[in-house]
């Protein structure tokens, strides 16, 4: 059996990007030029825009979607066949510089609903050291 990297390149496995904002969408499109990608966002209106090759953040031209093997979705079921997840959700801070971990917790719970043995999860969100380990343990052990 080949490793995940080889299976991704052969398009026998899929990668998902969770959160398609100004960070997640460019990451998803970059990967989608080489492998199968599921672009997941909880906002159906944003998903509909990306399906029309429109960047909701107005930072990417429609041509950036050219040649990409990507399926945009807000449907959790579309993540069940994914083996590699990249979480790219915002971590805004309040006036006292305390991060709002709500989006990260929500995305982690989403991935946790479809996560299988031997799957990979990478966090692209900006957080303090140890945060994702504690969040993942808290969300996935519940």
Give the CATH number, domain containing residue 39: 3.40.50.720
Q: What pLDDT is attached to residue 29? A: 98
What's the pTM? 0.91
Evaluate whether residue 4 is within a structural domain.
no
Q: How many CB atoms lie within 10 A of CB 92?
A: 10
Evaluate whether residue 1 is within a structural domain.
no
Evaluate whether residue 6 is within a structural domain.
no
Q: What pLDDT is attached to residue 141? A: 59
Q: What pLDDT is attached to residue 125? A: 84
Q: What pLDDT is attached to residue 39? A: 98
Q: What pLDDT is attached to residue 129? A: 82
Evaluate whether residue 7 is within a structural domain.
no
Q: Count up the domains in the chain and report the number.
A: 1
Q: What pLDDT is attached to residue 45? A: 97
DSSP state of 88: -
CA dist list (Å): 35 to 27, 57, 106, 130: 12, 24, 26, 30
CA dist list (Å): 139 to 85, 95, 133, 136: 16, 27, 10, 5
Evaluate whether residue 3 is within a structural domain.
no
Q: In angstroms, rounded to a whole number, what is the distance separating the alpha carbons of residues 6 and 22?
A: 28
Q: In which residue ranges of the chain is pLDDT below 70?
A: 1-2, 137-138, 140-142
Evaluate whether residue 25 is within a structural domain.
yes
Range of the domain at 81: 12-140
Q: What pLDDT is attached to residue 99? A: 85
């Amino acid at each position: 059996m080949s490793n995940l990297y080889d299976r991704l390149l052969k398009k026998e496995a899929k990668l998902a990007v969770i959160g398609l904002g100004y960070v997640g969408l460019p990451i998803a499109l970059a990967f989608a030029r080489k492998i199968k990608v599921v672009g997941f966002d909880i906002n159906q209106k944003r998903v509909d825009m990306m399906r029309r090759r429109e960047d909701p953040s107005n930072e990417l031209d429609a041509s950036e979607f050219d040649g990409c093997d990507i399926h945009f979705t807000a449907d959790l079921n579309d993540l069940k066949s994914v083996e590699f997840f990249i979480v790219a959700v915002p971590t805004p801070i309040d006036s006292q510089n305390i991060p709002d971990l709500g989006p990260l917790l929500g995305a982690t719970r989403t991935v946790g609903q479809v996560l299988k043995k031997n799957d990979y999860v990478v966090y692209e969100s900006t957080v303090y050291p140890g945060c994702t380990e504690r969040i993942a343990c808290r969300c996935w052990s519940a």
